[in-house]
Structure 1
Amino acid sequence: MDQKKATLTLPDGKIIELPFIEGKMGKPAIDISQLSQHGLHTYDPGFMSTASCGSAITFIDGEKSILLYRGYPIEQLAEHCDFLDVAYLLLNGELPNQNEKTKYVSEVKKHYLLHDQLNSVFRGFRRDAHPMAVMAAVVASKSAFYFDEMNVYNRNHRKISANRLIGKVPSIAAWSYLYNLGRPFNYPRNDLSYAANFLNMLFSSPTQDYEINPVLVRAFERILILHADHEQNASTSTVRLVGSSGANPFACISSGIASLWGPAHGGANEATLKMLQEIRSESRIGEYIERAKDSTDSFRLMGFGHRVYRNKDPRAEIMRKTCHEVLSELGLENDSIFKLALKLEKIALEDDYFVKKKLYPNVDFYSGIVMRALGIPNSMFTAVFALARTAGWIAHWNEMFVADNLKIGRPRQIYKGKLLRNVSLDRNVSKD
């Protein structure tokens, strides 16, 4: 069957044929990669209409509220799998059987420990440094520990790097927080699950053990699963762009952490909790709802709506259910912030303005409340996000090298500067 073509008619009447591409699901695309041969570029700020790659990892249909990892609905994965099941799936394309899972967990746990020399790296920071700043720098510093033995074009080397990153990032995240507090570093425990190990590193101390609560561990597993990947977002695209140069994988993941730290990306759950704390009382919700509708007011109702989902965020209901489970387990059903969130959600969903614009609560609306209930401080919210997203980042990084047409990323621009001009020999002349 002949490939479908789209035609582009230029102002001078010239017609250019462009290949028409259809994926297995989702919107079709027009292949514009050959436009430069005709002396043309496209202009798409924010890349809202541009597919930068082909990928088999994650599928999103924002209109139908669908999120699939390798074809599996996020709802089923959150219900029946743990995080390392999902990490294996993202990397390998299939869920592991029991033997594969046992071997994979063992491989990841081999990399829990951090090199002792990293103690010196951590101590180079101020004690009040934000955990994300420390985390990005320490992850990047790992490039110096695993450099000579790393060939990104070697499949086995990439597999080892993936296991190292997924194993070590929880330790780096926990130590970034502990350093901030001035507490001694806790070493990982191989007898605990991935999620339980992180919580134990975060909250145990030499003088007091952390009580492992299976309900809370399961809630944290869900947070990790729901945030493990989300297609070509800003941080994933950053990892791919840096990776396209052949950079060390630790440097690539560090770039993703830096991108994620932006308040418009990974900081939304922290911003949502701050907003609820600012509102404080149910009696003030109406005031803030009206402010959110006012285009001249800088206030934004955080945790509602999503750039990709034009309907409900499929992750939000899972997080809402998890929120109830955690607060019930901890006896916090009457927690003022949670009650305020439920009231805000109810009022917003009954307001014509929000209904018409389909501004439903997203995953960030509840994840911050859950992490707060678990005892995780605001400053660590984005670090937890980075911990989860490392699985997706490394899966996308690896996928690039499997593709046959890997090219270094090189976006073009529309130049809007000065025309050609000459350097003045007398620059003391007035420009008036």
Structure 2
Amino acid sequence: MGQPSENTQDSLTVRDNRTGKTYTIPIVDNAVSATAFKDIKALRKPGERDENETEKGLRVQDKGFLNTAVIRSEITYIDGEAGVLRYRGYPIEQLAIHSSHLESAYLLIYGTLPTKEQCTHFETEVLRHGNMHVDSEEFFRSFRYDAHPMSMLTSAFAMLGSFYNEANPSLQGQKLYTRGDKESLATMDRQIYRLIGKATTLAAMAYRVRQGREFVTPPVGLSYTGSFLYQMDHLGEEDYRPNPVLEKALDVLFLIHADHELNASCTTVLQTGSSLVDPYSAIAAGCASLYGPLHGGANEAVIRMLISIERPVPENVPAFIEAVKRREKTLSGFGHRVYKTSDPRSFIVRKTADEVFKVTGRDALLETAMALHDAAMKDEYFIKRKLAPNVDFWYVFSGLIYRAMGFPMDFFPVLFAVPRVVGWLAHWRQMMLQEGGVKIWRPRQVYVGAGKRDYVPIERREAVEGLRQVPSAVEHGG
């Protein structure tokens, strides 16, 4: 952990013009402590709202966490300006070429690349924990025939927690995962094996229940993604094996999507996990967050956008671009909350797509995607706004890979969630073992609502009208 330097220049000097007082706040690792601003206090001005709590110190307002660091982490580094993504210091480009999803999972969770023996042990444990209790079959069959697979997967992660009482701090003591001793670490690792191992099984079950097919027991002797594809596609064929090119492609996609620092879903896992809830509930919360169209649903949105452009003809790209500039259409896959140049994962995805298309053939949507890319990259509107194609646009390629492999579009977020379980667990484990223990996350707010009001009896109240200030009238079906 970084320490304040003896150099007084490593500090921030703040002068409160309300009081004339000056405060010195240490800068550690190019960050200042938000709680240090609580020492900057003043008396309330005449007529100022009590709810401002001016005498209790300044609050730091940061809508959407645009520049707030909530944890010290050693896991993933992103430089959005330079287009850099590293797992534990290793460039994602190198890992995509030389590593595998489970080897990189070991790296993310435990901090180092494993030896051959360590990797074999980890992979064996993960794959061994892929089997589900027979009661889970009844759980999946209880969903409607048209249930969204992400709804099923989110529910299934929460359901898992009900099977393992020894994994629940509410039952075993709140220090179950924070002690850091041998027994505590073994309990933590067992849940990590289970969650990574069962993620593919749960996803495959969600897929097959939608298809009206029997569930498939995870096979022995296949890789992580090979086992996943087997559970998805096996229909009783003798000696069935997934296509090795597609198996490798899915492994690469899993690897590059395993972690992306404190995105919405990872932050949700940590926020939930900070209450010391069991990891299954925390992962279910992260899965729910990933479900949103601004996060894990973005890749599906890109494909649907391309389909809308191509109908009736792919020559509609210029007209679509103009409609976007007039704000009549939404352009999915351009611009990124973090990356301001290009996402390093995009090049890996495109190369992987080329390999897959050699097996499956090219999708007609690819030509539309490239035309959209070329048109936007040459247009001043997008250049000035630095709207480079991000990984969600290059999810055109991952989306087309998924289409070529036979995945339905509403399954795309599931293919994002399964590998992201690894990153969620890496950050959850780091938080459980952090120096000083776990503190529940409790953000502050800036209250701008009504001041103190006295209760008014119902017969003396005046009606308040307004679209957002009265409940809606809804129709009730039979």
TM-score calculated relative to the size of structure 1 = 0.94
Instruction: Say which SS state the counterpart of residue 459 (structure 2) adopts.
Output: coil
Structure 2 CA distance for aligned equivalents of residues 139 and 261 of structure 1:
14
Query: Which of 449, 459, 464 is the aligned partner of 1:428?
Result: 459
Aligned to 1:176: 206
Q: Does 1:385 align with 2:416?
A: yes
How far residue 209 of structure 1 moved from its aligned partner, in angstroms, is: 6.8
CA change 1:142–1:285 in 2 (3 A) is same
Structure 2 match to 1:8: 14
Kindly provide the CA deviation profile for residues 383-409 of structure 1, in whole angstroms up to 9, marking residues without a partner as x. 010001000000000000111132110
Match of 2:177 in 1: 152
1:309 and 2:339 correspond: yes
Amino acid at match of 1:343: A
Query: Counterpart of 1:416?
Result: 448
Report what 2:192 is aligned to.
Answer: 162
The size of the alignment, in residue pairs, is: 422
Residue in structure 2 matched with residue 33 of structure 1 by the alignment: 35
Equivalent AA in structure 1 for residue 6 of structure 2: D
Structure 2 CA distance for aligned equivalents of residues 354 and 121 of structure 1: 47
2: distance between equivalents of 1:208 and 1:198? 17
- Within the candidate set 114, 132, 140, 2:158 is matched to 140
Matched with 2:283 is 253
Tell me how far 1:89 sits from its aligned partner.
0.5
Structure 1 residues 161 and 376: CA distance shift in structure 2, 3 A: same
How much has 1:346 moved relative to structure 2? 1.8
Instruction: Give the letter for the 1:423 counterpart.
Output: Y
Residue 53 of structure 1 aligns to which amino acid in structure 2?
I
Residues in 2 aligned to 1:149 and 1:259: alpha-carbon distance in whole angstroms: 23
Post-superposition shift, 1:208? 7.4
The TM-score, its normalising length taken from structure 2, stands at 0.85
Q: Return 320-329 or 305-314, whichever deviates more.
A: 320-329
Deviations 1:4-44 (A, max 9, x none): 2212222222223222121xxxxx22211233355221110
* CA distance in structure 2 between the aligned counterparts of 1:123 and 1:209, rounded to whole angstroms: 28
Report the CA distance between 1:156 and its aligned residue: 1.8
Q: Larger Rg: 1 or 2?
A: 2
Partner residue in 1 for 2:469: none
Q: Report the 3-state secondary structure (helix = DSSP H, G, I; strand = E; otherwise coil) of the residue aligned with 1:148.
A: helix
What is the distance in 2 between the residues matched to 1:348 and 1:323? Answer: 21
State whether residues 203 and 210 of structure 1, in contact with CA within 8 Å, keep that contact through their aligned partners in structure 2.
no
1:237 pairs with 2:267: yes
Structure 2 gap segments, 5+ residues each: 41-55, 169-175, 179-183, 464-478
| Counterpart residue number, 1:336 | 364
Query: Structure 1 residues 343, 208: closer, same or farther in 2, change over 3 A?
Result: farther
Structure 1's unaligned 5+ residue stretches are: 23-27
Deviations 1:366-420 (A, max 9, x none): 2211111121111110001000100000000000011113211000101111111
- 2:91 is the counterpart of 1:91: no
The answer to whether structure 1 residue 81 and structure 2 residue 88 are counterparts is no
Q: Once structures 1 and 2 are overlaid, which stretch shifts more, 198-207 or 148-157?
A: 148-157
Residue 320 of structure 2 is matched in structure 1 by 288
- Displacement of 1:182 after TM fit? 1.4
Q: Is the 8 A contact 1:147 1:248 kept in 2?
A: no
Over residues 304-326 of structure 1, what are the superposed CA-to-partner deviations in whole Å (9 max), with x where a residue is unaligned?
22110011111011111111111
Offset at residue 349 of structure 1 (A): 1.6
Structure 1: distance between partners of 2:238 and 2:305 = 34
